[in-house]
Structure 1
Amino acid sequence: MVERGRGTILFTGCSASVSGIAGYSELCCGKFALRALSQCLAREFQPMGVHVAHVIIDGVIGPPRGASSSERKSVGEQGVDGSMDPDALAQTYWHLHVQDRTAWTQEIDLRPSTPRFF
């Protein structure tokens, strides 16, 4: 990527990346570290044309919109139970990949519009 002067590295975290959760110290330590790694790599490689971003997914990923009714029932209807559509998440990842380098996103939080479910 550095040789070509372009590329994208996307890391996926969760709410544990930015906030400690009682009983989940192992997860939080790892996710905090992943977030820090993405920030360090961004500062190192963005000047060389490599976009590095950290995506926080704060929710449960459900089945795609086109999934069968039995698949949807296993996690509930999209948007009603707070699950997130994987196709919508993929669109965000794609947007980060093709984002204009004059305005790169370094971190983005993705969450459903419904109230928290846990």
Structure 2
Amino acid sequence: MAKPTCVIVGVGPGNGAAFAKKFNHEGYRVALLARNKSYLDKLQTELGEAKSYICDVTKPDQIADVFSRIQAEMAPIETLIYNAGSGHSCTIENLDIYEYESDWKINCRGCALFGQLVTTEMIQHGKGNIIIVGATASLRGGANFASFASAKAAQRSLAQSMARHLWPKGVHVAYLIIDGPVSKSRTLDGSTRDNQTFLQPPDIADTAFFLTTQAKSAWTFEVDLRPHVEKW
């Protein structure tokens, strides 16, 4: 019997790598999607059965092509983790419309396209998981997050719509709200913050995997994750 596949969209050295390592450890084959080929190749080597695919989520034709290759090479797809994200800090006064459009394409449109592609197979099998990685900005629009917050709010509403449609068909859609900075080399470099104020990617990945193991009688739609010292 073929191992199930977990497709991870947006793989980098933080959450993306942690999701890949966790699901690989739990017996999944992992499809690694991102734009950084050198990092994907390195991670693929570490994980053994994983396969890497170059994918720019702002390009619908590329999404469709990559998904077709994954279906041919790695089916059945049991879990999709949409971790691609982009956020420009700006007020409405200095908003750049092209950055605004890019945030929406990456956070919302790409999520919709991948969600649409995986659902047919999942519905046919009567099971599957779609986990979408969000942010606190999806719940409230800070003054300096006019672009990012609106894109994440749209993503969260999309996730709710998907869940209401897909749950009765056996497909678990869940939304992870990450409240706080994530510990990875880029955010820690030069930071004076105490490390305990950062979320740890392996712990986030543990929660994501747990969501895929829940019984249908008690599914979670939304879970917010924050360090124990975070003010909220």
Does the alignment reach a TM-score above 0.5?
Answer: yes
Q: Which of 1 and 2 has greater Rg?
A: 2
Residue 199 (structure 2) pairs with residue 78 (structure 1): no
Residue 147 (structure 2) pairs with residue 26 (structure 1): yes
SS at match of 1:2: helix
Aligned match of 1:109 in 224, 227, 230?
224
Which residue of 1 is the match for residue 174 of structure 2? 53
Unaligned runs of 5+ in 2: 1-121
SS at match of 1:3: helix
Which residue of 2 is the match for residue 67 of structure 1? none
**Aligned-pair CA distance for 1:115:** 3.3
TM-score in terms of structure 1 length: 0.83
Residue 208 (structure 2) pairs with residue 93 (structure 1): yes
Q: Which residue identity is paired with 2:198?
A: S
TM-score in terms of structure 2 length: 0.44
Distance in 1 (alpha carbons) for counterparts of 2:230 and 2:179: 11
Structure number with the bigger relative contact order (C-alpha 8 A, sep ≥ 6) is 1
Give yes or no for contact 1:78–1:85 (8 Å, CA) kept in 2. Answer: no
SS at match of 2:209: helix
Runs of 4+ residues over 3 Å off in structure 1: 73-78
Residue 159 (structure 2) pairs with residue 44 (structure 1): no
| RMSD of aligned Cα (Å) | 2.0
Which residue of 1 is the match for residue 56 of structure 2? none
Aligned-pair identity in percent equals: 37
Query: Which protein has the bigger helix share?
Result: 2
Unaligned runs of 5+ in 1: 64-69
Distance in 2 (alpha carbons) for counterparts of 1:78 and 1:30: 29
**Aligned-pair CA distance for 1:85:** 0.9
**Aligned-pair CA distance for 1:78:** 3.5
**Aligned-pair CA distance for 1:94:** 0.2
Which residue of 1 is the match for residue 125 of structure 2? 4
